[in-house]
Amino acid sequence: MDLGIKGKRALVCASSKGLGRGCAMALAAEGVDLVINARGAEALEATAAEIRAAHGVEVVAVAADITSEDGRARVLEACGQIDILVNNAGGPPPGFWPDWERDDFIKALDSNMLTPIALIKALVPAMMDRGWGRVVNITSASVRSPIGQLGLSNSARAGLTGYVAGTSRQVASKGVVMNNLLPGSHDTDRIKSLTEATMKREGITMEEAVAKRNASNPTGRIGTAEEFGATCAFMCSQYAGFMIGQNVLLDGGAFNTTM
Ligand code: NAP
């Protein structure tokens, strides 16, 4: 299926690895030129080279911390005209609710709420002027169903979700489609470190922790970055024009609910 976005240009934040990389790869497969970003230059350049080789699109790689003002400024400077924005950044660390202080919350809010909002404010007005744009914010299944040890993430992402709910409806008439994509467990470095934390906390082996994690999902497995990227690409496509302010949960049915 041709998603109708060949020749568009996307900024995919935090995309040298994992879910961001999956989104970048899927957009490139549709002929979308890219600006990709991560802090570590080596993995970022390797991903950029892989995408260029696989799909022949233009890929500009900017090594910068997207959660810092300076990092965002450098990324935006390299952007040019952006039609598609995929917001992403590393998630806050796991922990225990009485331990989190104001500074921990400020850091989480900066990374997972205020950074995507700053990028939306920087890029969406020009999309509205041109009458076409797509924004996908990578949040988390924890917005729908809280994960206790990820309280910092639950809180910051719920804040972004509230912002997107209102903002998406204010920009829709100008052709800008803004939604959130909520990953459940996917096979990335992030999930490896969370599984390791479970192993240590429960005093079990890695194999046991993986088996326990997989068994808890109706599909008996976790998702892949490719599956995640394909869903993101659809949400950025010409066909997503009537999908506004939605929270698309991609979790293999882990969240047990009728609707
Ligand atoms: P990942 O595999 O650890 O990849 C994270 C990517 O983001 C890397 O390319 C990393 O590169 C980059 N990055 C991290 N912090 C950054 C920053 N401050 N500025 C720029 N780039 C940054 O993580 P993931 O699993 O893809 O997760 C992506 C997001 O989805 C996270 O917020 C995570 O909490 C959320 N999530 C993931 C899952 C899952 O199952 N994987 C589930 C729910 C939610 P550098 O380290 O070089 O910067």
Residues 83-96: tens digit of each pLDDT: 999 999 999 999 99
Task: Note whether residue 258 is domain-resident.
Answer: no
Task: Note whether residue 193 is domain-resident.
Answer: no
Grade residue 113 by pLDDT with cuts at 50, 70 and 90.
very high
| Confidence (pLDDT) at 31 | 98
Residues 159-172: tens digit of each pLDDT: 999 999 999 999 99
b/e map 138-177, b = 16+ CB within 10 Å: bbbbbbbbeeebbbbbbbbbbbbbebbeebbeebbeeebb
Task: Note whether residue 195 is domain-resident.
Answer: no
Instruction: Specify the CATH number for the domain of residue 62.
Output: 3.40.50.720
Ligand 1 surroundings by CB, under 6 angstroms: 14-20, 37-40, 43, 65-67, 88-91, 138, 140-141, 183, 185-186, 188-191
Question: Which of 190, 216, 248 has most ligand 1 atoms within 8 Å of CB, for mutation?
Answer: 190
Task: Note whether residue 202 is domain-resident.
Answer: no
Number of domains in the chain: 1
What's the rounded mean pLDDT across residues 17-30?
Answer: 98
| Confidence (pLDDT) at 193 | 85
Nearest residue by C-alpha to atom 47 in ligand 1 = 40
Q: Are 22 and 190 in contact (CB under 8 A)?
A: no
What range does the domain containing 123 cover? 9-184+223-242
Task: Note whether residue 233 is domain-resident.
Answer: yes
Task: Note whether residue 108 is domain-resident.
Answer: yes
State the SS3 of the chain: CCCCCCCCEEEECCCCCHHHHHHHHHHHHCCCEEEEEECCHHHHHHHHHHHHHHHCCCEEEEECCCCCHHHHHHHHHHHCCCCEEEECCCCCCCCCHHHCCHHHHHHHHHHHHHHHHHHHHHHHHHHHHHCCEEEEEECCHHHCCCCHHHHHHHHHHHHHHHHHHHHHHHHHHHCEEEEEEEECCECCHHHHHHHHHHHHHHCCCHHHHHHHHHHCCCCCCCECHHHHHHHHHHHCCHHHCCCCCCEEEECCCCCCCCC
Which has more confidence, 197 or 68? 68
Amino acid at 5: I
pLDDT at 10 over 90: yes
Task: Note whether residue 207 is domain-resident.
Answer: no
Nearest residue by C-alpha to atom 37 in ligand 1 = 183
| CA 228–ligand 1 middle distance (angstroms) | 13
| CA 14–ligand 1 middle distance (angstroms) | 6
Residues 198-228: tens digit of each pLDDT: 899 999 999 999 999 999 999 999 999 999 9
Question: Which of 15, 16, 19 has most ligand 1 atoms within 8 Å of CB, for mutation?
Answer: 19
Nearest residue by C-alpha to atom 18 in ligand 1 = 65
Looking from the CA of residue 66, the nearest atom of ligand 1 is: 19
| Confidence (pLDDT) at 197 | 87
| CA 71–ligand 1 middle distance (angstroms) | 16
Task: Note whether residue 200 is domain-resident.
Answer: no
Residues 220-247: tens digit of each pLDDT: 999 999 999 999 999 999 999 999 999 9
pLDDT at 190 over 90: no
